[in-house]
């Protein structure tokens, strides 16, 4: 039985916990007496407690994040009721700020704030020796990344076969955007490149194919970014998929040349636009050159096969719905495959709250701490925008309606945002829900809206949606679309089938 159990509740099985593997890698001589145990937030806390306690640990370390703090709080309460003598140590971004205000902190024995890679081992050693630790909240010094044991050897064969492999070539962010926890993570620290690439070589040799870089700015150091791209390009095989976050206005020729060499869909760039409203951007200390940003987008969409995932935020101080809509339309015009629209959150510790009084910003007190209203967007309007976000994700971002979605704004001069808001209002009036909507129901409602509200002909709407539906690999068309099935006979997809399902839907067919 392990002395130390490292556990967390992941959002989904596919997300292997990077943080736990870092803690495990840096336990030193305690590593052999530790075990990683991962769960999912859909599991009942009582069953999770049973599984942890069955291992009879002497210490439990739990990773706490915005998506799991609720059930993890319940889990800690259960563990301490059943085994009051069992030390429970918390760590993670959710408990690193405003720590003393949280119920989960009151329940636990110790909380490590900040990057706990080295501090966790130190605390475990004290506890296992029986040495008392008077402090409940323990601040971790910023570790020198050169001292860290990296966690890549501790991805299991099952992880490599079925899960995303999280990796990092750097930590920290040079920017100070007030809504983001990374704005508190200064300075940027680079891992030594050669050992990092050697670890990637080993993962590839073991069969790794899905790599997600958690670096906030992969293109900050151009030479390093190019070297990483060259490495993966030289070892490309079908099915390789690499995700990066990038600074949107920084894409010099040295990177462009390499990016253009990758096959369609094998690279994904997460591009944080957040807002096109320059006054709001300045207000939250966000710096970006809009002209260079648009030029980089045009390059990525016209001359590369990169899957572009762009981010926008609703509810920033000083931006009303009309301004957000203009930004959404501008981004639609740049043509990213996905536009991830998020509702502004007041994460623990971030300085966005300094605008609360001036902009009458009211937040939900519970995770994910989204804004409820502000001076420019009242609560009913914010709720409409929430529904817009959800339906846009189901229709526009899913890749299930690549040709059908643009029909919503096909009238010359129409605003995509206004048209999509109209559809969202109508769909909610029809269904009165934003979840548990089957793909067939969504396809039929989209057909009805296009034909009865926008005036698209039944033939155009039906054949377009039937083609979309079949292209996404669905076997049986919804009843309203069956008369149009003969207009499109899907063929077997080749290239896109090797990619993650969502991204693969955006890649042109090759037969």
pLDDT digit string (tens) for 161-210?
Answer: 999 999 999 998 888 889 988 777 668 899 999 999 999 999 999 999 99
Residues 476 and 483: their CA atoms lie apart, in Å, by 12
β pairing state of 34-40 and 59-63? unpaired
Q: Is residue 232, in this structure, part of any structural domain at all?
A: yes
Q: Is the same domain home to 91 and 207?
A: no
pLDDT at 495: 43
Residues in the chain: 511
Cis previous bond, 148, omega within 30: no
| CA 76 – CA 106 distance, rounded (Å) | 10
Are 183 and 330 members of one domain? yes
45-53 vs 69-82: helix crossing angle, rounded to 10:
50
- Together in a domain, 267 and 372: yes
pLDDT at 491: 52
**Rg of the chain over CA atoms, in angstroms?**
24
238 DSSP assignment:
T
Q: Quick check: is 389 in a domain? A: no
- Give this prediction's pTM: 0.92
pLDDT number for residue 510: 41
Question: What pLDDT score was predicted for residue 219?
Answer: 87
Are 175 and 125 in a shared domain?
Answer: no
Instruction: Please check whether residue 9 lies inside any domain of the structure.
Output: yes
Peptide bond into 368 cis (omega under 30): yes
**Does residue 169 share a domain with residue 130?**
no
Read off the tokens for 462. 């039906």
* Residue at which a domain ends, from 326, 348, 377: 377
Is residue 382 in a domain?
no
Q: Is residue 60 part of a domain?
A: yes
Split into its structural domains, the chain has a count of 3
Residue 494 has a pLDDT of 42
Given 315, 344, 377, the domain boundary residue is 377
Say if residue 100 is in the same domain as residue 206.
no
Q: Concatenated DSSP letters for 166-201?
A: EE-SEE--S---TT-GGGGS-S-EEPPHHHHHHHHH
pLDDT tens digit sequence for 208-250: 999 999 998 888 889 999 999 999 999 999 999 999 999 888 8
User: 3-class DSSP state for residue 321?
Assistant: helix
- 3-state percent helix, strand, coil for the chain, nearest multiple of 5: 45, 15, 40
Last residue of a domain, one of 327, 348, 377: 377
- What the block records as the tokens of 19 is 């943080």
| Chain centre to alpha carbon of residue 349 | 20
159 shares its domain with 130: no
Q: Is residue 170 part of a domain?
A: yes
Q: Which domain holds residue 501?
A: 398-511
* Measured distance CA(297)–CA(303) in Å, rounded: 10
- Is the domain of 166 the same as that of 77? no
SS3 154: helix
User: What pLDDT, on a 0 to 100 scale, did the predictor assign at position 187?
Assistant: 80
53 neighbors 31 (Cβ within 8 angstroms):
no
Mean pLDDT by 10 residues, the chain (511 residues): 97 96 98 98 98 98 97 98 98 96 97 97 96 92 95 97 96 87 79 98 97 92 95 96 92 93 95 94 91 93 95 97 98 96 95 96 96 98 98 95 96 95 98 94 96 96 91 82 70 54 67 33
Sign of CA dihedral 249, 276, 241, 263: negative
Instruction: Specify the CATH number for the domain of residue 26.
Output: 3.40.50.280
H-run or E-run covering 63: strand 59-63
Same domain, 235 and 294: yes
What pLDDT shows up at residue 509? 52
What end-to-end distance do the CA atoms of the chain give, in Å? 53
Spell 147-168 as b/e; 16+ CB within 10 A means b.
ebbbbbebbeeebbeebbbbbb
Q: Are 237 and 343 part of one and the same domain?
A: yes
Q: Which two tokens stand for residue 183?
A: 């704005």
**Is 130 found in the same domain as 61?**
yes
Question: CA of 410: how far to CAs of 67, 355, 461, in Å?
Answer: 38, 39, 12
Per-residue confidence (pLDDT) for residue 475, from 0 to 100: 73
* Residue 385 included in any domain: no
Could you tell me the CATH number of the domain that includes residue 306?
A: 3.80.30.20
**What are the tens digits of pLDDT across the range 241-281?**
999 999 888 899 999 999 999 999 999 999 999 999 999 99
> 23 and 123: one domain?
yes
Structural domain includes residue 16: yes
């Amino acid at each position: 039985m392990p002395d130390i159990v490292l556990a967390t509740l992941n959002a989904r099985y596919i997300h292997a916990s990077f943080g736990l593997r870092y803690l495990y890698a840096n336990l030193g001589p305690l590593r052999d007496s530790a075990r990683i145990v991962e769960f999912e937030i859909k599991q009942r806390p009582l069953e999770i407690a049973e599984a942890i306690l069955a291992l009879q640990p002497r210490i439990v370390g739990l990773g706490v994040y915005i998506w799991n703090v609720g059930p993890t709080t319940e889990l800690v309460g259960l563990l301490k009721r059943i085994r009051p003598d069992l030390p429970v140590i918390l760590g993670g971004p959710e408990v690193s700020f405003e720590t003393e205000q949280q119920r989960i902190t009151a329940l636990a024995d110790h909380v490590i704030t900040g990057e706990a890679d080295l501090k966790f081992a130190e605390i475990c050693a004290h506890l296992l020796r029986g040495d008392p630790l008077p402090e409940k909240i323990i601040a971790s010094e910023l570790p020198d990344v050169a001292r860290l044991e990296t966690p890549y050897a501790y991805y299991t064969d099952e992880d490599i076969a079925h899960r995303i492999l999280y990796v990092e070539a750097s930590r920290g962010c040079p920017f100070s955007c007030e809504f983001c926890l990374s704005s508190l993570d200064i300075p940027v620290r680079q891992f030594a490149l050669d050992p990092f690439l050697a670890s990637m070589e080993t993962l590839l040799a073991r069969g790794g194919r899905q790599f997600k870089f958690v670096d906030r700015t992969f293109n900050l150091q151009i030479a390093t970014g190019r070297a990483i791209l060259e490495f993966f390009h030289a070892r490309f095989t079908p099915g390789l998929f690499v995700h990066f976050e990038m600074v949107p206005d920084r894409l010099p020729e040295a990177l462009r040349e390499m990016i253009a060499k990758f096959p369609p869909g094998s690279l994904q760039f997460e591009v944080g636009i957040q807002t096109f409203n320059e006054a709001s951007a300045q207000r939250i200390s966000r710096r970006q050159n809009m002209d260079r940003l648009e030029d980089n987008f045009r390059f990525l969409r016209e001359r590369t096969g990169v899957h572009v995932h762009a981010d926008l935020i609703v509810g920033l101080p000083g931006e009303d719905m009309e301004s957000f809509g203009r930004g959404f339309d501008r981004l639609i015009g740049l043509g990213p495959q996905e536009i991830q629209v998020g509702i502004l959150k007041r994460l623990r510790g971030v300085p966005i709250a300094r605008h609360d009084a001036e902009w009458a910003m009211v937040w939900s007190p519970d995770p994910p701490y989204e804004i409820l209203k502000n001076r420019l967007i009242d609560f009913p309007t914010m709720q409409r925008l929430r529904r817009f976000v959800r339906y846009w994700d189901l229709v526009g971002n899913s890749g299930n309606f690549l040709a059908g979605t643009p029909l919503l704004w096909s009238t010359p001069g129409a605003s995509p945002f206004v048209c999509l808001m109209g559809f969202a209002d109508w769909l909610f009036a029809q269904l009165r829900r934003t979840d548990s909507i089957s793909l067939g129901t969504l396809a039929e409602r989209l057909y009805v809206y296009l034909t009865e509200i926008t005036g698209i002909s039944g033939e155009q709407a039906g054949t377009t949606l039937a083609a979309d539906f079949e292209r996404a690999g669905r076997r049986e068309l919804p009843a309203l679309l069956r008369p149009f099935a003969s207009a499109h006979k899907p063929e077997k997809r080749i290239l896109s089938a090797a990619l993650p399902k969502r991204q693969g839907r955006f890649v042109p067919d090759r037969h």
